[in-house]
Structure 1
């Protein structure tokens, strides 16, 4: 393989255009050399209708970034690994926990990297928040993660289909931060999921979680928010409140602003991916996905009014 990690993006939707392409351009040691998408044709790059055509007829590549809806990713990741490619999985990494186990095994057997890209865990304030909380007693955690689906996922019907996660598509970002900043593993105690009468995935959710020490954690996810999004995690501690805002980019310790950084999550993701491929390692953290799966298993289903995009 070349010293330069040659990567192709599969699925050229909004997240690929807005985040992956500029992040790759900012990251040394990696270059975008092709795109596979059934509809969009980016200028200046070789374009293929799907992954199979890319692997058969495309330029030499070392890795793929799978930015397709999660319902498609298992088959695509398996095909890419079988072809000797490293694989970056956009979040969520798949629709089920069980489908990821054989992918982890396949990557190990092929000597290739499989990377579950929990981008919110790489937000600038997450690491400092983890360090700050490590020296304190946490008494309560409240997560408010709400946004307007029409603004952030316009026309993306797959998100409300079975396996599309619904409001857990953004909500899992909060859970990926939660599992990073808390010192102990957490689990779901109960959940209530609001399903529009014409959809197969929830538009809102309320979840109660805890850790082995009984820490109360309350989470509210909602796709029906209008105006500015709310991407906040409040930790009440023995030394006062610690608040993560802006999806993990801003940190306050009481009234003191500790971190207020721009959005640089995806460049950090790609630096991590390049390092993993050079070291021959994988990184597939399943903790956030387990919490979503448990929410569906324990969740009380509530029917709400039909949703039309």
Structure 2
């Protein structure tokens, strides 16, 4: 696993002024877990990636991999420790004059691994990324997604326990992106990797991540397990994971709904509530999809009370029994009347 504790990074300008890029970052990525790091351009994602891979030395704080504090090492000890972190960037950076097989073998040859072991390891990795049939192909003969898969295989050559994927799907077409994300999930499970996925694409987070941290102005402003965030109607990060465009409504009560993750949503919930309590329920907007095998949804509804006004607490409890977590998005009624 990887543990980042109070990590800060600053740069000193020629005039002596300090620029704080990262401030007191705390993040843990367990074994067999994909944690995404999201945020706008300039938030500090790239600097965090460089610090995790030890391409940049943190100004303060620690980065521990399997209990070893890599930020305190230097020289040969640091070079040895960095082998526990594999890195994949936006560009696969393959050597154009070497085949896919030779590119994967490069780290092993550099360390003087014997040919027999190189052949076995490269063959295993080519099979893992589904490109055994492309072993003799040169990068120019591969698609963008295939080149990235070879880059991932090369990053795993030295058997790291942590994989850093820095914008690894940026610039790929949708089909190739899905292939890479599926591969990362497979590698997480097969090799029990702790994977840090640096991305600006919420689609990638939904498809692959177990947890997500949002970084802004060098600080983590929100962190959570993806399925838990999706079930929080008032979570700003959850709302960006499942964006919702809703139409205006003249309803007496407007509710934001999210699918519960512990029980299935009753498919006929609208008709059941309408008939039971004399309501008219307008569906103002919805975003429902499968997220990592989980049915996730975010909806907005307008409630019209056709008879007596149902107490709000009772109404919200009824939604929860049907598999939906509800919160008040807006109300024409004063809440004291709705409650």
TM-score, normalisation: structure 1: 0.29
Question: Which structure ranks higher in relative contact order (CA pairs < 8 Å, sequence separation ≥ 6)?
Answer: 1
Q: Which has the larger radius of gyration?
A: 2
